[in-house]
Amino acid sequence: MSDVAALAGVHKATASRALNPSTSGLVNAATARRVRTAAEQLGFTPNSAARSLRTNRSFTVGVLLPDLTNPLFPPVARGIEEVLNARGYTALLANTDNDEAKERTQFEALRGRQVDGFIIATAQRVHPLLDEAYESGVPIVLVNRCTDKRLFPWVAGDDATGMALAVEHLLGLGHRSIAHVAGPQSMSTGVTRVRAFRHAVETAGIAPERAPVVVSESYTAPAGERATHELLEKHPDTTAICAGNDLIALGALHALKARGLRCPQDISLVGFNDMQFADEFQPPLTTVRVPHLDLGAEAARLLLERLDRYEEKGHPAPMSKTVFLPVRLVVRASTAAPPPHGA
Amino acid sequence: MSDVAALAGVHKATASRALNPSTSGLVNAATARRVRTAAEQLGFTPNSAARSLRTNRSFTVGVLLPDLTNPLFPPVARGIEEVLNARGYTALLANTDNDEAKERTQFEALRGRQVDGFIIATAQRVHPLLDEAYESGVPIVLVNRCTDKRLFPWVAGDDATGMALAVEHLLGLGHRSIAHVAGPQSMSTGVTRVRAFRHAVETAGIAPERAPVVVSESYTAPAGERATHELLEKHPDTTAICAGNDLIALGALHALKARGLRCPQDISLVGFNDMQFADEFQPPLTTVRVPHLDLGAEAARLLLERLDRYEEKGHPAPMSKTVFLPVRLVVRASTAAPPPHGA
DNA sequence: AGCATGAATGCAATCGGTTGCAGCAATCGT
DNA sequence: ACGATTGCTGCAACCGATTGCATTCATGCT
């Protein structure tokens, strides 16, 4: 502000230049030093509203998360924050509770706050809001889920490989009746994992009717529990279950207990994500580990890359790079050999 | 913006008044309607940077959390968001990772972004940053933890009652050698719970040497595990443990397993907070339920109250109201009668 | 009719940095 | 020695919404 300039005996324009790293080369080193110490003395903090107003950049990015209480997302958020903070950006986290209206509200609120871009973890396969957003040209990176139209850069775990690993593990244990309790088919993760599951069992020469798929209406334990009951009604001879994610697996665990089935002695169970506390379940869950922190970090990097380019060229290159991060199977105690036939 | 005003055939000042609910009474109803439809047509979103610049209010509050991956905090954050969003405010969440340097950085960054106030869940008993912040006069509300100097309004669970309930429960089961694995004594929750523990056992007529306290260096499972080992080295005759929080309890569970002790048959265990997944542990944890969502919601309400007053009177009333929300004991499977003497 | 009243709107300053352009001095080149 | 170049700084416009004040016009009152 002008107080600082006055104290340093210069014009406020010079003070501004001295304080801004990218323009400080324009002022005399001695003057710059004087200004900086003056700023220090006065405890000066630049008013970012004024800066944004003039520069049209807020150094803030909006992060849309479907549900903070799902342990999957906090690490993603941290990864995002880490990368962003290192570059002087701030992440604005917002919950949508998987509610499209709430999502729209949050999105508008953030746009109004002049965020420079978005990292979005709430994508549905068909997503009007994102279509509109694409038209408007806001920089956006998708994380975890994506839309059917591949309009945006996208970072996710390698779901196909993950599911293949899970099925191979179960096959290796001797299972031949493997079911999949899938996540909602309105999300890309839901269909990708179903497709990978089908491919894996088919490759192993298992007849489709011995590899049923039921769909859970959401990625939550209660929904997973209901879907598992449904599965076991129709296919009581199932010996192993691949769950769409760890919360569905947790619900499956509840369903098994309710039916008097032991895991893994009667039925083996594999989760997906390796979320926090998956190793504390009873039994500790065998699951596919997705590097959540890296997911967020990589998404943030992609967005920054996009923002840099935006700044330089003034126009966004039409970039919809997809990044799959490697996953691996973590074997714990929820999987074992199938019970002897007819036991 | 002026485009809207032009389309509606009015001056931009009128447009501004028409669009702002609090000043829309100043313009003709018909004109206001015309402006609103014009704004709608053009997809106008007000530039909040410009508004903040002029009004010195950003309708944004900063939320400082020690660790998002601790399941205690996401519900708090949601409670905050819910109340804030309903009033047109946005919450800016920031992680500090329990790191004072990082906390300072985040705090400065948020101040620079002109937040109207803070909700802080990272308070230490001695906290230079907060002392400075108090001097500067920023509206702040503390949640969960507080500083020794009671400078700020503060919302927390009723820890003293909670701990009393836990101890009574154990006494009722017949335990007479109850230990407390406490949280860090640098935080108010750590000392409050120790004090309440000591008071409860003393009231019950238990000799202090039969009610030892060991301190865990942090609210995490690994630290809790180490502290529990230390406890059991020194006091092998312990039959029940009150943990400083659920993560410490989880660590205690690991320690017990490592030592070949069964829970609850050999040793009973009570947690604190009733965090998400505490019911999935092996065994499901008996714990004190703190209403996390309400904690956040109430803190947000207190802050809004403060902000409203700030706006009216121009000067903050020196208010440091304390709100304790009621807690209750949730009995699960980690507590039972002590083993028969000498078994 | 004449003047006061009040509602509705326009005008212009303002918030606090940023930045294109101009001015000025010192140094350089020939 | 003189014009050109370079380095540094000042000037002033500008970003977009808000708001105190002035203006206009219609209505009410006597």
Higher pLDDT, A258 or A22: A258
- B69 and A81 within 8 Å at the Cβ level: the answer is no
- B277 and A277 within 8 Å at the Cβ level: the answer is yes
Residues of A in contact with B300 (CB under 8 A): none
**Locate tokens 């279950």: which residue?**
A241
Least confident of A89-98, A241-250, B178-187: A89-98
Give average pLDDT by consecutive 10-residue segment, chain B, 343 residues: 87 92 89 92 90 92 94 96 92 91 91 93 97 92 96 97 98 97 98 98 95 97 98 97 98 98 98 98 98 98 90 62 97 97 57
pLDDT tens by residue, B254-275: 999 999 999 999 999 999 999 9
pLDDT score, position A71:
96
CA distance B91 to chain A (A): 8
Q: Give the span between the Cα atoms of B192 and B49, in whole angstroms.
A: 43
- Mean pLDDT, residues A274-285 taken together: 97
CA of A15 to C1' of D2 (A): 35
Residues of B in contact with A113 (CB under 8 A): 48-49, 60, 90
- A49 and B52 within 8 Å at the Cβ level: the answer is yes
- Mean pLDDT, residues A5-13 taken together: 91
CA distance A208 to chain B (A): 34
Q: Say what percent of chain A tops pLDDT 70.
A: 97
Question: Would the pLDDT of A316 be above 90?
Answer: no
- B48 and A250 within 8 Å at the Cβ level: the answer is no
Q: Give the span between the Cα atoms of B63 and A45, in whole angstroms.
A: 19
pLDDT interval class at A313 (50, 70, 90): low
Residues of B in contact with A53 (CB under 8 A): 47, 49-50, 53
- Contact (CB, 8 A) for B258 and B202: no
pLDDT interval class at A136 (50, 70, 90): confident
CATH class of B58-152+292-325: alpha beta
CATH topology of domain B159-290: Rossmann fold (3.40.50)
CA of B6 to C1' of D20 (A): 23
Structure tokens at B284: 């499901």
- B69 and A74 within 8 Å at the Cβ level: the answer is yes
Residues of B in contact with A95 (CB under 8 A): 77-78, 81
pLDDT score, position B318:
60
Task: Give how far Cα B184 sits from Cα of B101, B102, B220, B243, B265, Å.
Answer: 19, 20, 10, 12, 28
Strand spans (E) along chain B: 60-65, 90-95, 117-120, 140-143, 154-157, 178-182, 213-215, 240-243, 268-273, 286-289, 322-325, 328-330
Higher pLDDT, A271 or A1: A271
pLDDT score, position B308:
87
Domain spans in chain A, listed from the N-terminal domain onward: 2-46, 58-152+292-325, 159-290
Residue among B160, B189, B144, B188 nearest B299 (CA): B144
pLDDT tens by residue, B173-215: 999 999 999 999 999 999 999 999 999 999 999 999 999 999 9
Enumerate residues 6+ apart whose C-beta is below 8 A from B314. none
Amino acid whose CA is nearest the C1' of D6: A26
Q: Say what percent of chain A tops pLDDT 90.
A: 83
Q: Give the span between the Cα atoms of B330 and B249, in whole angstroms.
A: 14
- Mean pLDDT, residues A278-283 taken together: 97
Backbone angles phi, psi at B276, to 5 degrees: -55, 140
CA of B83 to C1' of D20 (A): 34
Nucleotides of D under 7 A from a protein CB: 7-12, 14-20
CA distance A54 to chain B (A): 9
Q: Across the interface, which of A48, A71, A108 has its CB nearest the CB of B45?
A: A108
Residues of B in contact with A93 (CB under 8 A): 77, 91-93
- B50 and A53 within 8 Å at the Cβ level: the answer is yes
Q: Across the interface, which of B48, B112, B280 has its CB nearest the CB of A113?
A: B48
Structure tokens at A134: 């694409």
CB of A151 under 7 A from strand D? no
Most confident range, picked from A113-117, A311-315, B164-168: B164-168
Strand spans (E) along A185-229: 213-215
Q: Across the interface, which of B53, B77, B95 has its CB nearest the CB of A68?
A: B77
pLDDT score, position A35:
92
* DSSP at B106: H
- A114 and B49 within 8 Å at the Cβ level: the answer is yes
Backbone angles phi, psi at B90, to 5 degrees: -120, 140
pLDDT score, position B183:
98
